[in-house]
Amino acid sequence: MPSFSLAALTVLELAPPAMIDVAAACGYQQVGLRMLPAMPGGVAYPLMDNEAGLKETLARLDATGVTVADLEVVALRPETEIAAFSAFFETGARLGAKHILVADYDPDLSRFSDRYASFCEAAAPFGLTADLEFMPWTCAPDLATASSIVAQVGQPNAGVLVDALHFDRSRSSIDDLARIPAHFLHYWQMCDAPAERPATTEAMIDAARRERMFPGEGGIDLVALACAMPADITISLEVPTAELAKTMDAKARSQRALDAARNVIARSLDGADHRGSRDG
């Protein structure tokens, strides 16, 4: 079994120390921390600006043995200044984080690529990868665009982040994924969703941020996706369920996500002896 990380969006009501305790109690090896909001005014826990909160988070990591997989969310826009992320990088290094989730909100792909390359260079001394998550409503809407950008910048810590939901909604394909160099893939995100795609971009965004399904309970072919991914990279379970959260606590939802993901991976292992055989 690969290692599993509890994504921030699954339990966004929990501050990092409480989230770490839930992850440990359920059997996750890692967590992802949302230190920057996904959108202006969104929920985030900026530990780089909260020394007491950072120390408490470090103490919970030390006590539980849970580690930090990734930090969220860096939205690179035309006006973004890379120098503004110094404290973010330094805090990530203190937390022992491995990856940063990056999103493209610059319609000029040449300008974005230059800024993304600079971001990768700035993150590298702190031991952090910069993983470009393609999402249909961003300026990197699909796997082909994201992988082309990562190839173009040529930074060793640049990567493509595959989220099962966005992979499906962007109509990216397993054949596309098979052509991606394995060293572009540092971790990936698992969830499920109805087979029928939302009719509007607004509905797609709302579903992505608020209402997903637990792995194996929807219409995405997660077994095929798992078979196509490198076997030894972390799987982040990103399953926001806003309605269910009204009646089911964070620990119960986190446990349900983990149990469901383990079942998907077990099924993929049963039918894919070739998993993990990709070349780097």
Task: Give CA–CA dist 133/122, Å, rounded.
Answer: 18
pLDDT at 271: 67
Task: Give CA–CA dist 158/216, Å, rounded.
Answer: 30
pLDDT at 272: 56
Q: Which of 168, 169, 160 is nearest to 224 (CA)?
A: 168
CATH 3.90.870.10 for domain 4-270: no
Low-confidence ranges of the chain (pLDDT < 70): 271-280
Q: Are 198 and 166 in contact (CB under 8 A)?
A: no
Cα separations in angstroms, 222 against 190, 213, 226, 230, 269: 8, 12, 6, 14, 12
Query: What's the token pair of residue 16?
Result: 């990092």
pLDDT at 275: 41
Q: Which of 148, 150, 171, 164 is nearest to 229 (CA)?
A: 164
Give the domain ranges of the chain. Answer: 4-270
